[in-house]
Amino acid sequence: MMPCYQLPISQMRRFGLALMLPAALLGAFTFPTQLQTATAQTSEANRPLTIRADVQEYDAKNQVITARGNVQMLYPSRQLQATSAQAQYFSKERRIDFTGNVYILQQGGNSIRAEKVTYLIDEGRFVALPQSNRQVESIYMIQESENNAQTAAPAPQTPAFKPSN
């Protein structure tokens, strides 16, 4: 075999291309440059659920989508938006598990912040868990009617704090 410095330039380019092509393809699949998007169809009236993330995997046997990295979920029919580090959509169980700095916003301003949140789609119910030694934060927008605001009794006085000896 000839040393590479004696090969014609065209052969050196082909050889370089042959080495670079597999590396480039591997890099494109291992380190995607764009967010991947998955749209799942729920069984009820084909309502779309869109999930965007850095990486997504689909387990066809168990029908589970796992999204990791900068996860964003949009579920317009339920008026929900969510962000987290990871999300798993279990289509058979009709459940979404969010983990890692979870923030869920519902149209109208209601929101939840937690380390882990499970959303039970059919029940429209959230189960939120905090990080250790922390708490879950929920914000609910409550509409006061004019009649209730005028007739509502004032809140009772909170007793003063008395330190124990």
Q: What pLDDT score was predicted for residue 31? A: 40
Task: Find out whether 109 and 126 touch, Cβ atoms under 8 Å.
Answer: no
**Cα-trace Rg, the chain:** 26
Domain boundaries, the chain: 50-139
What pTM was estimated for this model as a whole?
0.61
- Tell which wins on pLDDT, 55 or 133: 55
Average pLDDT over residues 37-48: 55
Q: What pLDDT score was predicted for residue 63? A: 95
User: Domain 50-139, CATH 3.40.50.880 — does that match?
Assistant: no
pLDDT digits (tens, 9 = 90+) for 86-134: 999 999 999 999 999 999 999 888 999 999 999 999 999 999 999 888 9
